[in-house]
């Protein structure tokens, strides 16, 4: 009997979101590690490699604020960027799992975002209730954080 693990449902959420939002893959091939997927689309400019990671919500003091700590992901970013040499655009999907699973969200980081964080020893994504963006903590004040769109339009992304 095939066992479905909880992490499979997290990764499935991210793939389902992509399919519902106009990503029409011609081919998907899973890498050796199951959280890496190569997407070949009908337009070669939009071909990309998707690296999926998830974290559960950190316990917070405030009800209107959520955050997820992804720790040190420098090796993951380096591994993902290796695909860009093969003509694939790197995309890192950070799956932000909430206590109520149906309220979970995904932050997508593209090449320009990855360049800004690839030397960071710790990555934390946060979001206040009602904000249209996640904030990726860059050190210093909240205003200095990197905005990460919650629902990017892949058709308009300039990889």
Q: Residue 14 is part of which domain span? A: 6-149
**Digit-coded pLDDT (tens) for 24-38:** 676 566 654 457 888
159: in domain:
no
55: in domain:
yes
Position 109 scores a pLDDT of 92
123: in domain:
yes
At 8, is the pLDDT very low, low, confident or very high (cuts 50, 70, 90)? confident
Chain-centre distance for alpha carbon 34: 15
155: in domain:
no
The pLDDT of residue 1 is above 70:
no
73: in domain:
yes
Position 108 scores a pLDDT of 92
DSSP annotation of 63: T
The pLDDT of residue 49 is above 50:
yes
156: in domain:
no
The rounded distance, in Å, linking the Cα atoms of 52 and 33 is 10
111: in domain:
yes
The pLDDT of residue 20 is above 50:
yes
**Cα three-residue angle 108-109-115, rounded to 5 degrees:** 180
Position 27 scores a pLDDT of 58
Helices H / strands E in the chain, number of each? 3, 9
The CATH number that applies at residue 37 is 3.40.1350.10
Position 156 scores a pLDDT of 67
What is the rounded average pLDDT for all residues in the chain?
80
**Digit-coded pLDDT (tens) for 95-135:** 998 888 888 889 999 988 999 998 888 889 998 888 888 99
The rounded distance, in Å, linking the Cα atoms of 114 and 134 is 15
At 23, is the pLDDT very low, low, confident or very high (cuts 50, 70, 90)? confident
Percentage with pLDDT > 70 across the chain:
84
Position 28 scores a pLDDT of 65
- Rounded average pLDDT over 36-65: 79
158: in domain:
no
The domain tally of the chain equals: 1
The rounded distance, in Å, linking the Cα atoms of 132 and 46 is 24
Position 47 scores a pLDDT of 80
């Amino acid at each position: 009997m095939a066992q479905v693990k909880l992490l499979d449902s997290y990764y499935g959420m991210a793939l389902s979101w992509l399919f519902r939002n106009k990503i029409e893959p011609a081919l998907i091939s899973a890498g050796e590690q199951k959280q890496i997927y190569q997407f070949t689309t009908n337009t070669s400019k939009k071909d990309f490699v998707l690296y999926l990671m998830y974290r559960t919500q950190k316990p917070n003091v405030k009800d209107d604020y959520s955050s997820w700590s992804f720790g040190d992901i420098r090796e993951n970013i380096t591994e993902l960027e290796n695909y860009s040499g093969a003509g694939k655009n790197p995309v890192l999907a950070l799956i932000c799992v909430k206590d109520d699973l149906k309220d979970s969200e995904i932050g997508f980081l593209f090449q320009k975002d990855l360049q800004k964080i690839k030397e960071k020893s710790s990555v934390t994504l946060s979001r206040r209730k009602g904000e249209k963006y996640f904030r990726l903590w860059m050190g210093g004040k909240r205003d200095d954080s990197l905005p990460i769109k919650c629902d990017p339009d892949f058709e308009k992304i300039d990889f």
